[in-house]
Structure 1
Amino acid sequence: MVSFAVAAAGSSPTEYVSHHLEHLKVGEGLWTFHVDTLFFSIVLGALMLLVMMMAARRATSGVPGKLQNFVEVLVDFVDNSVKESFHGPREFVAPLAMTIFVWVLLWNIMDLIPVDYLPLLASKMGLDYLRVVPSADVNAPFALSLSVLVLILVYSVKGKGFAGFGKEMLFHPFGKNPLLWPANILLNIVELVAKPVSLALRLFGNLYAAELIFILIAMLPWWIQFIPGGAWAVFHILVVPLQAFIFMTLTIVYLSLAYEEH
């Protein structure tokens, strides 16, 4: 038996899965933009800013409200994570870590929305495709991780100076022998590239797999979906904050390694 959602999206389960994994796009080739990823990323980012602004404006030295309590706990949690891993000036790194954690967390939470709800609403508005989980689109995690790569380079120069950073690229890890400089440069470039790649692929892989499992569960008969769907959602509730925490923590660690001299 095939669910109503499968019948609505296409004539077979294969078409149903393919339909849900297709992005709303504009443009062609290299200049193809995933409109749904951009839209939900911007909306979730704006929501994050709005909530933080509300908490800041309502902050009081007296008895705090629920929103202030929540934000204070979140700020303390992120600030302690930065203190433990980053030993340089934290004026920029702590807000950066906070932004990354909350934004990625909101990205991941979108995976808990039933897979047919928002695409069905989009179809009534004349949109053929819609994917609502930005972190399940490899472009979003890679864009965020490339931003981290730029900051790694900035903090490498900030902590060591241009001369120190250049010496590290030439002399680390095999020493100052000029014959070993090419190997040192190659290994350091590989290390630099591996950091954003690992950040992006870890987040993308986990959320893409979770999204795919939710889609497969949605193809089951409606009267049994809640059993595997509920179990997977409970497990996924643990994955959602964990992946945001890992992305934030690795960002802090990478910036700390870049800032400190080896």
Structure 2
Amino acid sequence: MEPGSSGGGLTEYIQHHLTHNTGKLFSMDFNWDSWGVALGLGLLFVLWFALFARKATSGVPTKGQAFVELIVEFVDGQVKDVFHGDRKTVTPLALTIFMWVALMNAMDLVPLDFVGWLIQSVAGHEVAHHTYFRAVPTADLNTTLGVSSGVFLILIGHALSAKGIGGFTKEFFTAPFHAHGVMAIVLAPVNFVMNVIEWLVKPISLAMRLFGNMYGGELVFMLIAGLFASWVTFLPGIIANTAWGIFHILIILLQAFIFMILTVVYISGVRESH
């Protein structure tokens, strides 16, 4: 769909690109575009790294192997600086989060109307005009909440592994305000509420931070495409898109890094006692 291709102009153009390809799953709305792209990129990451892991040699590495090794060493170094326990499960988790989120974020660099152009080339303008597809999974709050919910469950697993069910439950009622006797009973509900809030804030803050940055970046691309849609402003539009795209690469990688490092920080925190 091109800007101004129908009476709605820029507003309709942006609304069209902000609409998900939604269907029903168990009587609930489900964004198939976010799910499909996220799944595809996750499988791409697994196949990519598995291929180079299988072909890895101890001699002079190929450029592809060197690049993969560079990423793995970078992530492992970051985990080592933050987490001082056994890293054999934490580093793979951090690597998966970093690469998966980075790949999903990078979909924001795909030309905005590329999918529409493909559909129009195959099925015609009318089908493309009425077909919705958002290519950036992390600009969908459902995706970021889904990933952060997975992290939340992993945090619970680490807490139970480190403290046991009894220690984990006890901590909810005895920290952060440690007390004895009657005061311990009085402060138990307060401790419980504060711990519940602390635990819930972790996945919500992870999801909202990533979603907000990627949604905002996606919206800027839409505004640039809509405002510089005519032939007169074509060259300025190319320059503006290129400039924002170069800057947005930093945001894409930075948000993936922040999501990864906060996950490791949270894991380190839940494994320690108050």
TM-score band (shorter)? over 0.9
Which residue, out of 228, 231, 245, partners 2:240? 228
- Structure 2 equivalent of residue 241 of structure 1: 253
Q: 1:62 aligns with which of 43, 59, 62?
A: 59
1:65 maps to amino acid: T
1:56, CA displacement in angstroms?
A: 1.1
**Deviation for aligned residue 1:30:** 6.5
Mark the CA change 1:108 to 1:150 in structure 2 (over 3 Å): closer, same or farther.
same
* Corresponding position of 2:185: 178
Please report the TM-score for the alignment, with normalisation by the length of structure 2.
0.90
The match for 1:151 is: 154
Q: Deviations over 1:83-105 (max 9, x none)?
A: 11112222211101000000000
The answer to whether the 8 A contact 1:5-1:218 is kept is: no
CA separation of 1:86/1:7 partners in 2, compared to 1, >3 Å: closer, same or farther?
A: same
Determine the C-alpha separation between the residues in 1 that align with 2:172 and 2:103.
37
- Corresponding residue for residue 110 of structure 1: 107
Q: 1:13 aligns with which of 10, 14, 17?
A: 10
Measure how far apart 1:160 and its partner are. 1.2
Match of 1:73 in 2: 70
Match of residue 200 from structure 2: 193
| CA displacement, residues 135-154 of structure 1 (integer Å, 9 cap, x when unaligned) | 00011110000011111111
Q: Is 1:204 matched with 2:216? A: no
Question: Taking structure 1 as reference, are residues 10 and 87 closer, same or farther at Cα in structure 2, changes over 3 Å only?
Answer: farther
User: Secondary structure of the equivalent of 1:27?
Assistant: strand
Aligned residue number for residue 168 of structure 1:
171
Residue identity opposite 1:142 in structure 2: L
Q: Provide the identity percentage.
A: 44
Aligned partner letter, 1:247: F
Asked if 1:121 corresponds to 2:124, the answer is no
The CA distance in 1 between the partners of 2:30 and 2:218, in whole Å, is: 21
CA 1:9–1:79 in 2, change beyond 3 Å: closer, same or farther? farther
Distance 2:150 2:23 in 1: 24
Q: CA RMSD in A?
A: 1.6
User: 1:209-256 deviations in whole A, cap 9, x for unaligned?
Assistant: 000000000011323211211111111011110000000000000011
Residue range with higher mean Cα deviation, 40-49 or 203-212: 40-49
Structure 2 residue matching 1:224: 3-state secondary structure: helix
SS in 2 for 1:261: coil
Matched to 2:111, the amino acid is P
1:115 Cα deviation (Å)? Answer: 0.6
Q: 2:112 corresponds to which letter in structure 1?
A: V
Q: Select between 22-31 and 218-227 the one with higher mean Cα deviation.
A: 22-31
Q: Distance in 2 between matches of 1:24 and 1:18?
A: 13
CA contact (8 A) 1:37 1:134 kept: yes
CA–CA separation in structure 2 for the residues paired with 1:257 and 1:235: 33
Q: Which residues of 2 match residues 16-95 of structure 1 at below 5 A?
A: 16-27=13-24, 31-95=28-92
CA distance in 2, matches of 1:30, 1:200: 24
Q: Give the TM-score normalised by structure 1.
A: 0.94
1:137 corresponds to 2:137: no
Structure 2 unmatched ranges of 5 or more: none
In 2, Cα distance between equivalents of 1:116 and 1:83: 42
Alpha-carbon distance in 2 for matches of 1:135, 1:122: 23
Contact 1:41–1:134 (Cα < 8 Å) also in 2: yes
How many residue pairs end up in the alignment? 259
Q: Report if aligned partners of 1:122, 1:129 keep a CA contact under 8 Å in 2.
A: no
- Contact 1:108 1:240 survives alignment (8 Å): yes
* Structure 1: gaps of 5 or more residues: none
Secondary structure at 2:236's aligned position in 1? coil
Specify the alignment match of 1:255 in structure 2. 267
TM-fit CA distance, 1:20: 0.3
Deviates more, 1:5-14 or 1:137-146: 5-14
Any idea what SS the aligned residue of 1:5 has?
Answer: coil
Shift in CA distance, 230/9, structure 1 to aligned 2, threshold 3 Å = farther
